[in-house]
Structure 1
Amino acid sequence: MRLPRALEPLRHRDFRLLWSGQTVSMVGNFIHGVALPFQILALGGGALELGLWSAIFSASMLVVVLLAGAIVDRVPRRRVILASDLVAGLVVSAVTVLATAGQLRIEHLYVEAAIFGATESFLWPALSALIPELVPASILQAGNALRGSSRQVSLLAGPVIGGLLVAAGGPKVAFGVDAATFIFSFVILSLASPPPREPLPPAPLLRQVREGLAYTFSVPWLWIFIFVWALVLVGQVGPTNVGLPLFVRDVLGGDARMFGLLTAAVGVGEVVTAVVLAQPNVRRLGIGICIFGVVGGLAIAGIGLVPHVAATMLFGAVFGAQFVAIGILWTTAVQKHVPPHLMGRVLSIDFFGGTLLLPAAPVIFAVVIEVVGLSQAFVIGGLFAAAIAGSLLLVPSIRSLE
């Protein structure tokens, strides 16, 4: 039986295993994402402590990610993903034990953030570089869209489950479920056997990092997108990571269950967009990325301008749509134009550029929230992100990127 084009990658066994494991693991990530802010608030923290967790997570990624990309190009990428899942699972298990024993402190969660940032630095480039090894080039965009659907399915299920778990048993129960999802992903991916890659010639690790940097800065659309998009992320991530839990509690009058539902609304937008983009091949990738970036910034601003539950859910869905669209189009562009032997390093540089300003963004917006209030912080961040994304259309190599 012939599958729809959007599902063609599932014909390939190793892709099915990767997709299944990562989908379950991401459900756990979003369960954790609901539990974490309410655990920090329960321990007496506020906007600053929420911002510090995100800042430590991002700073850890920045420290590790360039070396991580070089390592991803040197060793089997499946092995990198397995190690990342195992370490993350052990860390969340430790947090669960501490929370259950009543010994958990905010400092423990900061340590978790640092380790999570390091494992993410390895996981993201390894995942993106592995997919072209598992599916043919003709269905690569569909493979990226289907991989993105892991996040969408997770956004629909994880926040709702997380909200119910936190309401029923507290954050410690949610942390325990998250730990189990990491172990599941580890076990199922261990059954995969992707084709072996030709290993890189022996070379010092730092030289390989320099080769990746040299290639990236030789391609104008690549380095401009990577480093300017860091500013777009500042305007988006600052309000959402720091402001949204407080917005739910203080402006909308909700709790963890409402926070979970609002986060799930983001998943609805992502699902719809992933299904749409899995069918056609988008030709003008650069223009598409910029347009979606503008839409995402306006959605963030809309949350602040219309502070009602239904409007927040609608703007959340729009934000989810642009998030997954940008991810699919950008990953497809990199996979099409970057040589396979440089893929891990270029993706790690992309990750580095994207997170370059993220350690500062949550702290900055914690201060902005204190000065101008929650709603106004969303408006400021969203309009800033939209303006930066739109300005990239002035770059000829981005407009012509296919």
Structure 2
Amino acid sequence: MTNPPPKLALLARALHHRNYRLFFAGQLISLIGTWMQTVAQSWLVYRLTGSAELLGLMGFASQGPVFLLATLGGVVADRFDRHRIMLITQTSAMVLAAVLAVLTLTERVQVWELFTLAALLGVSNAFDIPARQAFIVEMVGRDDLPNAIALNSSLFNGARLFGPAIAGLVVAAGGEGWCFTVNAVSYLAVIAGLLAMRRHPEPRQPSSGSVLFNIREGVAFVAGHGPIRALMLLLGIASLMGISYTVLMPIFADRILGGGAAGLGILMSASGLGALCAAMLLATRSKLHGLETWVAYGSVGFGLSLVLFSLSPWFWLSAAILVCTGFCFMVQMASSNTLIQMMVPDRYRGRTMALYSIMFIGMTPFGALLSGILAGRVGAPPTVALGGLICAAAGLLFHRHLPRLRVERQRRASETEPD
């Protein structure tokens, strides 16, 4: 009897593909800069305005374009070369970060400029995210796709672990502008990795119909696929009511827990540590069996940990709870991504991942806006607690329908052949 492969081999099997190694290395550097900019930008808005409402509005400005334009980005990803799309979007993001760095370092930055640059970056992301998600299968194939998705999540959250902590120290020592500078330079790594890839793209079937027809076709596919629809709805609830707690983190770090800018970085990194542990755990899995249950438990655990975080008056207890929060949300998000990507045919991949982006990222700005408004009226802790209770309830409802969803997923998986 053949012995099962060791966990370490399972963990790294997608890295056997050269193009994915280049992608992974470039993203490793770039995402640290991205998290540094995210934390520094939130702190800059808070420092300039002191407003919970404007913190929520900043989240809306930066991620709202994903909600509005991601379906168009999905059509573009299904019609055109995804590698070239990523080169364009990553270069655009680099230029925007450089402009923000110059404005901040010269002490000429104004709040309206922050919002404008955040919105433009959101437009870039609306095209980048569907192309990037759909491009993964081109780098590794279907067999190693679950591992590549989990490694991507590990990468994202490894950067989330270090980026915010570095940002907190840099902001405290020299100001937000240096974080934006590091982010602008970090994009060179991912652009270099994309340019170094050896590619033999397979010809695609030409798209028929108008852009609007293609969008409707993608929406109809997701709406008619019960398991994908349920996974996306659950993720949308978590993004709308739960994950927006990050928008209010400057208030928790400063007013409630007394940690200041450095404390903000530690709290964000704590959540990233939990998410990184979850992603590494998922990367060792080689089968889909049981992932639906992980999604349900992840949703319930995410919601309950948010309630506990909202009640904690101590900094380090709050940080420990956020490790659990990040772990549970990553279990839900990465498991959902894996299940969806393994169920969708390649001809719908870009549009399906665009709708996934809307649920995961596009709903977040509405949650940020809602959280900012509620926090300005009833306070940040009750706002976070309410969102956590809704996420936990949604996870319990999803778990109740698991048997039916699992049967349909297995039936559709047997019908779906690689294109």
Normalised-by-shorter TM-score class: over 0.9
SS of the equivalent of 1:26 reads helix
Q: 1:320 aligns with which of 326, 330, 336?
A: 326
Aligned match of 2:3: none
For residue 69 of structure 1, report the CA deviation from its aligned partner. 0.2
Aligned match of 2:194: 189
What CA RMSD, in Å, does the superposition of the two structures yield over aligned residues? 1.9
Aligned match of 1:117: 122
For residue 302 of structure 1, report the CA deviation from its aligned partner. 1.0
1:384 aligns with 2:386: no
Tell me how far apart the structure 1 counterparts of residues 304 and 280 of structure 2 sit (CA, whole Å).
23
1:334 aligns with 2:340: yes
Aligned match of 1:100: 105
Tell me how far apart the structure 1 counterparts of residues 141 and 361 of structure 2 sit (CA, whole Å).
30
Q: Deviations over 1:112-147 (max 9, x none)?
A: 221121122222222221111111433222111111
Q: Deviations over 1:12-60 (max 9, x none)?
A: 1100011111121111111012211221122224111111111122321
Unaligned regions of 5+ residues in structure 2, if any?
Answer: 1-5, 411-419
Aligned match of 1:349: 355
- 1:364-383 alignment, distance < 5 Å: 364-383=370-389
Contact 2:231 2:336 in 1 (8 A): no
Aligned identity (percent) is 26
Aligned match of 2:137: 132
1:398 aligns with 2:410: no
1:208 aligns with 2:214: yes
For residue 363 of structure 1, report the CA deviation from its aligned partner. 2.3
Aligned match of 2:34: 29
Alignment: residue pair count: 401
Aligned match of 2:67: 62
Q: Deviations over 1:371-395 (max 9, x none)?
A: 3222222211111111122212233
CA 353–374 in structure 1, closer or farther in 2 if over 3 Å, else same: closer
Tell me how far apart the structure 1 counterparts of residues 16 and 353 of structure 2 sit (CA, whole Å).
26
For residue 399 of structure 1, report the CA deviation from its aligned partner. 4.4
Tell me how far apart the structure 2 counterparts of residues 362 and 28 of structure 1 sit (CA, whole Å).
22
For residue 170 of structure 1, report the CA deviation from its aligned partner. 0.2
Aligned match of 2:302: 296
Aligned match of 1:51: 56
Tell me how far apart the structure 1 counterparts of residues 111 and 365 of structure 2 sit (CA, whole Å).
18
Q: 1:164 aligns with which of 169, 187, 191?
A: 169
1:250 aligns with 2:255: yes
Contact 1:392 1:398 in 2 (8 A): no
- 1:78-89 alignment, distance < 5 Å: 78-89=83-94
> TM-score, normalised on structure 1?
0.94
Contact 1:47 1:366 in 2 (8 A): yes
SS of the equivalent of 1:138 reads coil
Q: Deviations over 1:251-290 (max 9, x none)?
A: 1111111111111111221222222211222412222212
Tell me how far apart the structure 1 counterparts of residues 67 and 383 of structure 2 sit (CA, whole Å).
25
Tell me how far apart the structure 1 counterparts of residues 216 and 362 of structure 2 sit (CA, whole Å).
18
CA 127–228 in structure 1, closer or farther in 2 if over 3 Å, else same: same
Contact 1:149 1:274 in 2 (8 A): yes
For residue 101 of structure 1, report the CA deviation from its aligned partner. 1.7
